[in-house]
Amino acid sequence: MKKVIKKWGWYKVLAKGNGFKVKVLYLKPFAKTSLQRHKFRSETWVFLDSQEVKIVGRHKWHRLSNSSNKGLKLVEVQIGICQERDIERQKE
């Protein structure tokens, strides 16, 4: 799959199917994503360097941030309706 470049880093979709999507994400040093939530999906983040896992439920505000001077890589597993139109971003 193709790499999608964002101002905070990049992501690549590894697999997708009915009711799920798996991505690998890379956050640049000191970067962060937008503050967002989803009505129709939950997300599980598996941080590859630390082997930590974080589960973000539906309707919960969340963002990824990297306060390190090294890049941050993680796997994101989305469960539910996994479409970009399900992202509600908070104005900052």
- The confidence score (pLDDT) of residue 92 equals 65
Give me the CATH topology for the region 3-89: Jelly Rolls (2.60.120)
The mean predicted confidence, pLDDT, of the chain is 93
Q: Alpha helix (H) ranges present in 1-92?
A: none
Structure confidence by residue, pLDDT tens digits, 25-56: 999 999 999 999 999 999 999 999 888 999 99
Q: Evaluate if pTM is beyond 0.95.
A: no
Using 50, 70 and 90 to split pLDDT, how confident is the model at 1? confident
Domain extents for the chain?
3-89
pLDDT tens for 14-23 read: 999 999 999 9
- Measure the CA–CA gap between 62 and 1, rounded to whole angstroms: 26
